Chains A and B, each alone.
Chain A
Amino acid sequence: MAKQKKQKRKPGVCIPWEEKLKELPKISGDKELVRKVWEDIDALGYVYIWQCLLSF
């Protein structure tokens, strides 16, 4: 697909990890783990609104 205009939020994202990271203290443990879990759950929020629009 041709490159689209840059949007505020990428597909699949409600609150970007980069935005959430700014709110957190310095991560002393596994940062990748925190990022992955944040993004996996954030994607559920995305699914909710787009499925409301498309399927319901």
Chain B
Amino acid sequence: MANDMEQLYAQRLKRYVTAMRNEKPDMIPIRPFVAEFTAKYAGYTCQEVTHDFEKAFVAARKCAADFDWDAVVANMVYVWTGLTQAIGLKYYAAPGIDISPDVGFQYIEPPEDRAFMKPDEYDQLIEDPTGFLFNVWLPRVSTDVSAMGQPTSYRNNLSFLKGGMAMLSYFNGFGKQIELLRTQSGTVSAIAGILKAPFDIIADKLRGYLGLLTDLLERPAKVLAACEAMMPQLLHVALSGADPDKNVPIGFWMHRGCVPFVSMEHFNKFYWPTLKPIIEEIWSHGHQVLFYAEGNWNAHLKAFAELPEKSIVYHVDQADIFQVHKVLGHKFCISGGIPNFLLSYGTPQDVRDYCKKVIDGVARNGGYIMDAGAIMQNDTKVENVRAMTEFTREYGIY
């Protein structure tokens, strides 16, 4: 049985990697980014999988065992609120504590006047990003970490100790989880490593979206310099978590750097010039990057087409996947494009029909991976995920 599972794993890995290299495997790979859906399927609440990562691991493995998927994220409920609570992070609403136990965790962006980074702090960030994060940002985002120059405390010391040990325990747990996915169900761990654009980090975690928009008008040179200062750090973090076998891509989460959140000029002057070199450098090390283009990034497809062939896998959320295929399909594998609202509120036949439309439109020559547009939470119907899986297996054979 162990040999059978290893054979299945090898078959799925080959299928998944072949598609990601924009070639034609034996059939269309299925790689669903299932988050709180796994909780629903396994009989857990959102609180359980968010606050206890071992339950999240069990839920992911149960899905991998029961559905014929080629790859899955080892734990897509990525924010372990046990850890964030130990550190004292202020910016999450945790299910079962701040919000209903049956709702996924929420990121809370502070109001503009209480942004985690002040407008006059750009120089500190630019000169020493790591020092800034420890000395200024962390004390602001944690209820327990003391600000520089303030007396230290029991809670401060414990925030670092417990946070550090808990984070190590969590990351070490992924090693065992990935091995179990392989040995128990022959399932590939879909991604390895993490990347975000410098521009998105400033909006998401430092100045806030509104603060950044103001900065683009009032201090654009500082914004650009801050993005540039973060580039080598983000490259380092991405490479340090990447797949040593160079099979699966680094996950790149794309947020509000696109039109209409910002103007085309902002994208061209700030977002893209401080991201593109990172992607190219990552590719020069032999790693692909999964562009998880949440929302609709079709205004920028021509920019993405500048990247080296096969250097990315481009994931489609709400955008027109057929236009994506037209502009990028000759260079990059495409994934996703099955609307989440359909998977949550449609019928299995609706799902089958849509999957057929997408497969016929973009997958005939390979280079396509079946998935929903966005991560699947607990409003996703089990029968629809089953329909997407079974249809792709029937219709997606080359």
Contact = CB atoms under 8 A, between A and B. Distances in A.
B173 interface: no
B278 interface: yes
B53 to A, nearest CB: 12
B358 interface: no
Contacts of A51: 167, 194, 237
Contacts of A54: 194-196, 201, 234, 237
A55 B131 contact: no
A11 B83 CA distance: 24
A9 B233 CA distance: 10
Nearest to B130: A9
Contacts of B233: 11, 50
Nearest to B84: A56
A50 B171 CA distance: 14
A48 B164 contact: yes
Nearest to A6: B127
Contacts of A50: 130, 133, 233, 237
A2 interface: yes
B168 interface: yes
A41 B167 CA distance: 14
B229 A47 contact: no
Given A7-B127, A44-B164, A49 B134 contact: yes
A28 interface: no
B143 to A, nearest CB: 14
Nearest to B92: A56
Interface string B186-225: 0000000011100001000100000000000000000001
Interface in B234-283: 234-237, 240, 277-278, 280-281
Name the residue in A12, A50, A52 with the highest tally of chain B Cβ atoms < 10 Å from its Cβ: A52
A8 B132 CA distance: 11
Name the residue in A4, A5, A13, A54 with the highest tally of chain B Cβ atoms < 10 Å from its Cβ: A54
A38 interface: no
B33 to A, nearest CB: 15
A1 interface: yes
B129 interface: yes
A13 to B, nearest CB: 7
B130 A49 contact: yes
A52 B109 CA distance: 15
A56 B79 contact: yes
A46 to B, nearest CB: 6
Interface of A: 1-2, 4-5, 7-14, 44-56
13 contacts: A1-B232, A4-B231, A4-B232, A5-B228, A7-B229, A9-B128, A44-B168, A45-B164, A47-B237, A50-B133, A52-B133, A54-B237, A56-B87
Interface of B: 78-80, 83-84, 87, 89, 127-131, 133-134, 137-138, 163-164, 167-168, 194-196, 201, 205, 225, 228-229, 231-237, 240, 277-278, 280-281
Given A1-B231, A2-B277, A52-B138, 10 more contacts: A7-B232, A8-B128, A9-B129, A11-B233, A12-B240, A44-B168, A48-B167, A49-B133, A53-B201, A56-B79
